[in-house]
């Protein structure tokens, strides 16, 4: 018996020195053109994505504003979804309430204006070469094209008198921390700390307005907005919930290859080729340096 016990002890001791198996290799990075259902990890075809996006009553598509591929995909989605089911409305972050009368007037005109961009009072900050094809197509459709942003006077008021929208999700500290980080990063770290509360208030007031407009829009409603406005964890979707929406919205994020998009941020992601963008931070520092010399 003693010999058996010694053998067992020796065997157990040997087991404790067995090397652990090597860790599994990380999954390969997503390819350009790959579409993923972030909730299941499944890779989808464009047709499968369309079938999924045709069902929800509210859909938000997040974009990188200066990415030509994203706007081409938005136009394709708008056209293809219209073939799947009747579109209720299209909302754009790029349109403000004071532009809505111009949009409505163009829609009601018997013939298109000679200069559509001028007729819409289009804002210079949005590249017409990228947004023009989407606008032109939407204006030929029977559903309304709706402004979803604040107008300039509202932006100034939100900046001058910062206020957080009501609701537990909008006021969560992790939400405000993430948005403040985004504000700092988007301004290349050059924004004075004293301006962060005001810039955060503007961001959240924009999100709240988009949520309000989305709730009021004819369904199925589709919103095109910047990626941070679209995000489920910090953007328009949490404001929808704070406003009492039972189902929130489905989010498709258009993202460059190499971007991190998690299931907390979106329901689906469509990766596009990585594009080398201008060094905006370098440009901002250069402009700031010139301004200080004056």
How many domains does the structure of the chain reveal? 1
- Residue 214, pLDDT score: 98
Is residue 236 one of the residues assigned to a domain? Answer: yes
Residue 192 lies inside a defined structural domain of this protein = yes
Cβ 231 vs Cβ 265: under 8 Å: yes
Q: Using CB atoms within 10 Å of the CB of residue 279, give its burial: 0 to 12 exposed, 13 to 18 middle, 19+ buried.
A: exposed
Does residue 264 form part of some domain?
yes
Assign 130 to helix, strand or coil: helix
Q: If pLDDT is split at 50, 70 and 90, which confidence band does 248 have?
A: confident
Q: Check which CATH number belongs to the domain holding 151 and give it.
A: 3.40.50.11550
pLDDT digits 0-9 by tens, 61-101: 999 999 999 999 999 999 999 999 999 999 999 999 999 99
pLDDT of residue 97: 97
CA 142/CA 108 separation, integer angstroms: 11
pLDDT at position 19 over 60: no
Residue 88, in any domain of the structure: yes
- pLDDT of 290 reads 59
CA angle 177, 97, 66 (to 5 degrees): 55
9 in any annotated domain: no
Q: Domain range holding 174? A: 29-293
Query: Is 8 within the bounds of a domain?
Result: no
What pTM does this model have? 0.87
- How many Cβ atoms from other residues are within 10 Å of residue 171's Cβ? 14
Residue 6 lies in a domain: no
Alpha helices in 57-127 (DSSP H): 68-84, 100-108, 116-119
| Cα–Cα distance, 40 to 18 (Å, whole number) | 35
pLDDT averaged over the chain? 88
Helix, strand and coil percent figures for the chain, each rounded to 5: 45, 10, 40
pLDDT tens, position by position, 115-155: 999 999 999 999 999 999 999 999 999 999 999 999 999 99
> Per the domain annotation, does 73 fall within a domain?
yes
Burial class (CB in 10 A: 0-12, 13-18, 19+), 134: buried
Q: Which two tokens stand for residue 133?
A: 């094809």
Percent of the chain with pLDDT over 90: 74
Please tell me the distance from the alpha carbon of residue 8 to that of residue 149, in angstroms, as a whole number. 73
């Amino acid at each position: 018996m003693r010999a058996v016990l010694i053998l067992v002890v020796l065997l157990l001791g040997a087991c404790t020195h067995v090397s652990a198996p090597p860790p599994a290799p990380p999954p390969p990075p997503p390819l350009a053109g790959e579409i993923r259902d972030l909730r299941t990890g499944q890779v989808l075809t464009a047709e499968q994505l369309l079938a999924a996006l045709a069902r929800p009553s509210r859909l938000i598509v997040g974009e990188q504003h200066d990415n030509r591929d994203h706007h081409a995909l938005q136009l394709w989605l708008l056209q293809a979804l219209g073939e799947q089911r009747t579109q209720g409305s299209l909302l754009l972050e790029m349109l403000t309430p004071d532009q809505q009368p111009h949009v409505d007037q163009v829609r009601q005109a018997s013939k298109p204006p000679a200069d559509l961009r001028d007729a819409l009072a289009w804002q210079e900050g949005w590249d017409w070469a990228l947004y023009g094809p989407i606008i032109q197509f939407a204006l030929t459709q029977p559903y309304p094209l709706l402004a979803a942003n604040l107008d300039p006077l509202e932006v100034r008021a939100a900046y001058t008198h910062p206020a957080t929208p009501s609701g537990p999700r909008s006021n969560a500290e992790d939400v405000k921390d993430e948005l403040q980080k985004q504000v700092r990063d988007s301004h290349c770290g050059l924004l004075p700390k004293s301006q962060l509360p005001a810039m955060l208030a503007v961001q959240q007031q924009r999100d709240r307005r988009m949520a309000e407009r989305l709730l009021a829009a004819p369904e199925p409603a589709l919103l095109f907005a910047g990626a941070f406005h679209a995000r489920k964890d910090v953007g328009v979707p949490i404001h929808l919930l704070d406003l009492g929406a039972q189902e929130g919205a489905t989010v498709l994020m258009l993202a460059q290859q190499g971007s991190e998009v998690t299931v907390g941020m979106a329901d689906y992601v469509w990766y596009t080729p990585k594009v080398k963008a201008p060094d905006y931070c370098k440009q901002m520092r250069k402009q700031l340096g010139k301004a200080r010399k004056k």
